[in-house]
Amino acid sequence: MNKQLTPAALFALKEALIHIYWYKKDLKSFLLKSLPKNINISKIDWDALTKRDICILIIDKLFELNNTEILLQLANDICQFRNFDHLKHLEDGDNKASKALSTVKQLKEFIIPYQEKQRAEEERQKRIKLAEERLHLFKSYQEELASLRQEFYSLVTSQDNQQRGFKLENLMNKLFILNDLDPKASFKIMGQQIDGAFTLDGTEFLFEAKWTKSLINSSDLAVFKEKIKTKLENTLGLFLSIDGFSEEGVNAFQSSDKVMILMDGSDLLAILEERISFTELVSRKKQIASREGKIYVPFSQMR
């Protein structure tokens, strides 16, 4: 905030600073706490100068150096005073306390507009910083996604089917991590092999991935369904088959209780090519299954 304080605001600041303490030692102690360390007030001849002269000297010097931020901070610290009981025990203490209260009240009237501008500027800087952080995160996300996309392209041309399956699981786990889905990589529970798991919008998902030459049929889906059924009721399954699913398999599980949703290679490619995010794709598939009873609707067919 570069705008300097007006002469009237400076006068109000001087008057308040002069009156909040009666003794110079108390004033000095306050200033040492309020002012930054690089503002050296020890060089002032505190014995020779009056309290008024000291206050005017300090504020005029800060103004001359264009230290508006320091002046505002000093004013803010002064405005924190709620009472002046420390003055009341002095001779004519009630009048001294009343005068201090009056000068601080007047200072507040001048300082409030500056405080509001300062807060507005701080909020603006926060928004700029947040936007920069989001841009950085977005660029990092894009870079990670581009890396996964190239990894997937290399898998498409791979001839090692077994290794391709393992690498697909690894790729998907990286995708879960990228989307902050609290993933768990491939694991076994009571003899059941689980390719992975993640959490989305409070729902636990078990994950299965297949990359076979044939379409996934009802028997493959039945095995996955049994794995899901052994978990808590709110657990769902996401089955990824790069080459898709047989019509017979989809129909068999579309007519029963729906505990899984299905995605294929075209869905994964849509994610990796940034046509839709993974979380949005899964959320839309879940919504379609809930509203329309369809567990397999590729991204290209979504309305």
Give residue 139's pLDDT: 82
Q: Tell me, yes or no, whether 164 and 43 share the same domain.
A: no
Q: Report residue 263 CA to chain centroid gap.
A: 30
List phi, psi (to 5°) of 240.
-105, 120
Q: Cα separation of 44 and 34, whole Å?
A: 16
Give residue 250's pLDDT: 92
Give residue 124's pLDDT: 85
Q: Calculate helix-pair angle for 247-254, 218-229, nearest 10 degrees.
A: 30
Q: Cα separation of 292 and 84, whole Å?
A: 71
Q: Tell me, yes or no, whether 91 and 182 share the same domain.
A: no
In a domain, 132, yes or no: no
Q: Cα separation of 296 and 263, whole Å?
A: 7
Q: Tell me, yes or no, whether 229 and 279 share the same domain.
A: yes
Q: Tell me, yes or no, whether 173 and 277 share the same domain.
A: yes
Q: Tell me, yes or no, whether 163 and 36 share the same domain.
A: no
- C-alpha radius of gyration, the chain, whole number: 35
Q: Cα separation of 225 and 206, whole Å?
A: 10
Q: Tell me, yes or no, whether 75 and 11 share the same domain.
A: yes
What is the CATH number for 168?
A: 3.40.1350.10
Tens-digit pLDDT profile for residues 156-169 = 988 887 788 889 99
Tens-digit pLDDT profile for residues 52-109 = 999 999 999 999 988 888 999 999 999 999 999 999 999 999 999 999 999 999 999 9
Residue with the larger pLDDT of the pair 289 and 130: 289
Q: Report residue 260 CA to chain centroid gap.
A: 32
In a domain, 116, yes or no: yes
Domain final residue pick, 72, 95, 122: 122
- Six token digits for residue 251: 């129909």
Q: Is 80 exposed, middle or buried (0-12, 13-18, 19+ CB in 10 A)?
A: exposed
Give residue 193's pLDDT: 62
- How many independent structural domains does the chain possess? 2
- Report DSSP letters for 97-119, one per residue: HHHHHHHHHHHHHHHHHHHHHHH
Tens-digit pLDDT profile for residues 6-34 = 899 999 999 999 999 999 999 999 999 99
Confidence check: pLDDT of 255 > 80: no
Residue owning tokens 């000068």: 103
pLDDT category, 225, cuts 50, 70, 90?
very high
In a domain, 80, yes or no: yes
In a domain, 13, yes or no: yes
SS3 240: strand
Residue owning tokens 């001294």: 96
Average pLDDT, the chain: 89
Q: Tell me, yes or no, whether 294 and 175 share the same domain.
A: yes
Give residue 131's pLDDT: 80
What are the residues whose beta carbons fall under 8 Å from the beta carbon of 301, sequence distance 6 or more?
none
Give residue 155's pLDDT: 92
Give residue 205's pLDDT: 94
Q: Cα separation of 224 and 238, whole Å?
A: 9
Give residue 138's pLDDT: 75
pTM passes above 0.75 = no
In a domain, 30, yes or no: yes
Q: Report residue 262 CA to chain centroid gap.
A: 32
Q: Which amino acid is at 280?
A: E
Residue owning tokens 């008057």: 15
In 3D space, the residue among 92, 96, 81 whose CA is nearest the CA of residue 22 turns out to be 96
Residue with the larger pLDDT of the pair 121 and 152: 152
Give residue 233's pLDDT: 80
In 3D space, the residue among 179, 176, 260, 175 whose CA is nearest the CA of residue 216 turns out to be 260
Give residue 192's pLDDT: 53
Give residue 190's pLDDT: 47
In 3D space, the residue among 263, 209, 203, 275 whose CA is nearest the CA of residue 232 turns out to be 203
pLDDT category, 291, cuts 50, 70, 90?
very high
- Average the pLDDT over 185-193 and give the result: 55
Task: Look up the domain containing 117 and give its range.
Answer: 7-122
Give residue 200's pLDDT: 93
Give residue 191's pLDDT: 46
Domain final residue pick, 96, 122, 148: 122
Q: Cα separation of 120 and 81, whole Å?
A: 24
In a domain, 131, yes or no: no
Q: Tell me, yes or no, whether 261 and 190 share the same domain.
A: yes
pLDDT category, 4, cuts 50, 70, 90?
confident
Confidence check: pLDDT of 187 > 70: no
- Average the pLDDT over 217-244 and give the result: 91
Q: Tell me, yes or no, whether 163 and 291 share the same domain.
A: yes
Q: Tell me, yes or no, whether 162 and 258 share the same domain.
A: yes
Confidence check: pLDDT of 194 > 80: no
Q: Tell me, yes or no, whether 163 and 295 share the same domain.
A: yes
Domain final residue pick, 68, 96, 122: 122
Confidence check: pLDDT of 134 > 90: no
In a domain, 133, yes or no: no
Q: Phi/psi zone of residue 202: left (φ > 0), alpha (ψ -120 to 50 degrees), beta? A: left
246: how many CB neighbours lie within 10 A of its CB? 16
Give residue 262's pLDDT: 97
Q: Tell me, yes or no, whether 177 and 238 share the same domain.
A: yes
In a domain, 44, yes or no: yes
